[in-house]
Structure 1
Amino acid sequence: MGTPLRPFTPVSPGEILAEEIEARGWSQSDLAAVLGRPAQAINEIVVGKKAITPETAIALSQAMGTSAEYWLNLEASYRLDLLHARGGPPSGDVERRARLFSKVPLKELIRIGWIQADLSDLDQTEAAVCRFLEISSIEEEAKLPFAARKAEARAPHTPAQMAWVCQVRQVARAMKVQQYTRDGLAAAALNLGRLSTSEGETRRVASVLADLGVRFVVVPPLAGTKIDGATVWLDDESPVVAVSFRYDRLDWFWFTLMHELAHVASGDGRRQPLIDLSLVGADGGSEEVPPIEARANRTAAHWLVPEDAMKTFLRQTRPYFGRDAILRFAARLGVHPAIVVGQLQKRGEVPYTHHRSLLVKVRSAFGGV
């Protein structure tokens, strides 16, 4: 069926009300007396100067033996007909803005400078969003298929998560690194944790990884993303590991970093960028972990604290993991004690509330991003 024809001149509810008044042999003043309203108010409705409100619709329904919805529908249809008679809304700006906001958290990205745009210029804003997502048209979907452990099974990735990974890729493209080899990364991984012992050593993470052919990117989290880190490949020979500093805690940083490096060493994410949510902390252990993530967890933990050394420490120290014991074990391994505390918490050996003083901050080593 085609679109229903509309009258060229919209019929106002007032015209219909005037007919109803006449059919009853009343005057406008009579109806005003029945409704307990001023006569001027009835006249303004009849001549179209005043809209029928819900309260008036109820009163008319009682006076005329109709329904309140009848009068409200007449009013709504009349207002819509007026818009159509005048050529409709001035533009499709609302629809365009809605499409842009469905692609990315646009206001937040403009505020933090990831996208340079002025919302009053929709052509310019749309072009900026397309450049950011690397698409030729706003009708396209960003070419970022994900495979990741998510907070909700089968939940789609959000525009904010997509935007975060797009920013990671853009930052990484500007970086120069040596040629990547898996053997080189695997050989160096067991010693990377030694960089955790001081802020000065931690600052060397980016340059050490660059020498191994891995781009290291820090991108702050967007609101509501819960992203800890990601593994992205610019091409088959160019891995990127990214962290968000959702938590400013040394154990969080090192486990997240090593988890992503474990993905790189296994070749994960070459075809589907991997993002990791809630890797560390009390919010990260309740959901089922996919095999690819469980493997990366085991590898990261082993690189930081070799499994045989951890088993010996657990056997000799249970059930009381005192501060001195943790400090001695960390010194023997050559890592910061926060890493040991994080491992004990992850294994359920100590509550997340214990040894908080050892869980020092680390963000300042990367410029406080």
Structure 2
Amino acid sequence: MSKVLASTPTGKVIKEYLDSYEITQKELSQRTGISEKHLSHVLNGTSRLTEETALKLEKVLTGVPASYWLNYETKYREAVAREQSPAYSADSKELQLIAKRFKFNEVFKDFGWSLQKQADQMLSLLQISDFSQFERVYATMGVSCMQDGGTLEAIAIWLNLCREEVEVQNEHLENQYNEVLLKTLLPKLKVIANTSDAPASLTEARELLNQAGIYLVIHEPISQAKIRGALSTYKKHPAIYLSLRFKTHDHAWFALMHEIGHLVLHYSKKEPIITLDIENGIQDEKEQAANHFAQTFLNPLLHSVGRQLQIER
């Protein structure tokens, strides 16, 4: 049999098998009980191959299971739909406005893509099918963003860029989140926080957090996203995101311990984004508690570590 692609109609592949088995279309109709007219539509790709037809083919073209035909038909129909589905459709002026609003120059600056392709990729990043759905999907973050935290678009983009980095920056986590283990690791985290090598300290922190079933992602901030960190959930595991906005050791560790404070005190898998640590953001009781947790953890270290220890990216 020749190699076929998913864009090749399923019927054409069936014809190749018929030739190999030396069975004519008329004989196939007789052997399966499928009318020649309907069979012709299936073989020409104008009718979808059904489960019933696939099971009948399995009986005649022995050695080829019905699942093969059904899987191929699914891939073929997807390929056809993808070819017929146009790239994000908007006129040049609208695309320019969307590009500015959703930071295309920052997110896609090194890719050399057309604005249309950038628009398609941004939709995939935000996990929406049209930009008109953005406010509806991300409205729950709006209250925090109104408190001088930047724009909703920038924060949503940053959060999703972090999400895409989870499996790049972390080991695959076999174990579920273990709060008891996390608490036993806090003294080790304190020792690591007191080292002078800031980047290495965060790498070691990630390794310890991974042991407790926690992801840690560090991703540079997006302009107009005045966000230091967030606590989210990724594949049923807590995920801590840090921006390192101020590029100093003490700020980095305060942001990390702030999110660990939320994790210990407030975490729930039911909320995809449990908290956003936004500069000048809302300081409700949970934020104050997380700040207190971080301050208590780091207080003996803040003066000895010092702000002069720059974080290199």
With the shorter chain as reference, the TM-score category is 0.5 to 0.7
User: What is the CA distance between 1:97 and its match in structure 2?
Assistant: 3.3
TM-score using structure 2 length? 0.60
- Give, in whole Å, the separation in 1 of the partners of 2:304 and 2:252: 10
**Conserved 8 A contact 2:231-2:239:** yes
1:135 and 2:128 aligned: yes
Q: Which amino acid aligns with 2:278?
A: L
- Give, in whole Å, the separation in 1 of the partners of 2:142 and 2:277: 6
Q: What does residue 244 of structure 2 align with?
A: 245
Q: Which amino acid aligns with 1:359?
A: R
User: What is the CA distance between 1:336 and its match in structure 2?
Assistant: 6.2
- Which of the two has greater helix per residue? 2
- Aligned positions of 1:1-369 closer than 5 A: 92-102=91-101, 104-111=102-109, 117-119=113-115, 122=116, 124-141=117-134, 143-144=137-138, 146-147=140-141, 150=144, 152-153=146-147, 157-174=151-168, 175=170, 176-179=172-175, 180-198=177-195, 199=197, 200-235=200-235, 237-265=236-264, 266-267=266-267, 270-273=270-273, 274-278=275-279, 289-305=283-299, 330=300, 335=301, 337-338=303-304, 358-363=306-311, 368-369=312-313
User: What is the CA distance between 1:204 and its match in structure 2?
Assistant: 1.0
**Conserved 8 A contact 2:206-2:216:** yes
**Conserved 8 A contact 1:150-1:276:** no
**Conserved 8 A contact 1:117-1:125:** yes
SS in structure 2 of the partner of residue 231 of structure 1: strand
- Give, in whole Å, the separation in 2 of the partners of 1:139 and 1:95: 12
Is there any run of 5+ residues in structure 1 with no aligned partner, and where?
1-90, 279-283, 306-329, 340-357
Q: What does residue 38 of structure 1 align with?
A: none
**Conserved 8 A contact 1:233-1:269:** yes
User: What is the CA distance between 1:291 and its match in structure 2?
Assistant: 1.0
Single out whichever of 181-190 and 93-102 deviates more from structure 2: 93-102
Cα gap change, 1:302/1:100 in structure 2, threshold over 3 Å: closer, same or farther?
A: same
Cα gap change, 1:139/1:288 in structure 2, threshold over 3 Å: closer, same or farther?
A: closer
**Conserved 8 A contact 1:149-1:276:** no
Query: What percentage of residue pairs aligned between the two structures are identical?
Result: 17
Larger Rg over CA atoms: 1
Q: Which amino acid aligns with 2:134?
A: E
TM-score using structure 1 length? 0.51
Cα gap change, 1:296/1:112 in structure 2, threshold over 3 Å: closer, same or farther?
A: farther
> How many pairs does the alignment contain?
215
**Conserved 8 A contact 1:249-1:360:** yes
**Conserved 8 A contact 1:251-1:338:** no
- Give, in whole Å, the separation in 2 of the partners of 1:171 and 1:130: 17
